Amino acid sequence: MDELKPRLRILLIIFGVVFFAIFIRIVDLQILSPRFYTERAIQQTKMEVTLAASRGDILDRNGRLLATSINTCSVGISLSEVENKDLLAEKLADVLGIGKNEILSRLTGERGFFWLKRKMDLSYFDKITKAIRESGLMCFVVQI
């Protein structure tokens, strides 16, 4: 029985030292230098992604352009979001060069969604979005 007490004391001292070391490490991580470890974690989780380049032009053997890629976009409208259909049709008719009555017939149709214009040049995009926003419409779809 006398041998057990010194062994128990040694074991308790070892456990106490280990738990004290763990406690000191936790204080260091959480209180003394959290910024260092936060920045280190961010650096380890950030990843650089290289995006694929756009397709190049296709040339013949004399260097003349045969084919090229053209960036286009499409704009669609959700009819449930349109409050003033006349105003929207008027503004879009000016921008698109389509008759107001044609746009109005599409706006009053039975479908809940329609593509306003597909595969259009990006130069129209700013004009169309401005016209849509001026008419008070907040929800429209853009596909590039």
Over its length of 144 residues, how does the chain's per-residue pLDDT go in tens digits?
A: 566 688 888 999 999 999 999 999 999 888 888 888 888 888 887 777 777 777 788 999 999 999 988 878 777 777 777 777 787 788 777 777 778 888 788 777 777 777 877 887 777 777 777 777 776 665 555 555
Token pair listed for 122: 């990006």
Report domain 71-143's class. Answer: alpha beta
DSSP letter string over 57-105?
PEE-TTS-EEE----EEEEEEEGGG-S-HHHHHHHHHHHH---HHHHHH
DSSP 135: T
- The residue type of 86 is D
Contacts of 67 (CB under 8 A, 6+ apart): 57, 58
Q: Where are the domains of the chain?
A: 4-45, 71-143
Q: What is the pTM of this model?
A: 0.44
Measured in whole angstroms, the distance separating CA 122 from the mean position of its chain's CA atoms is: 20
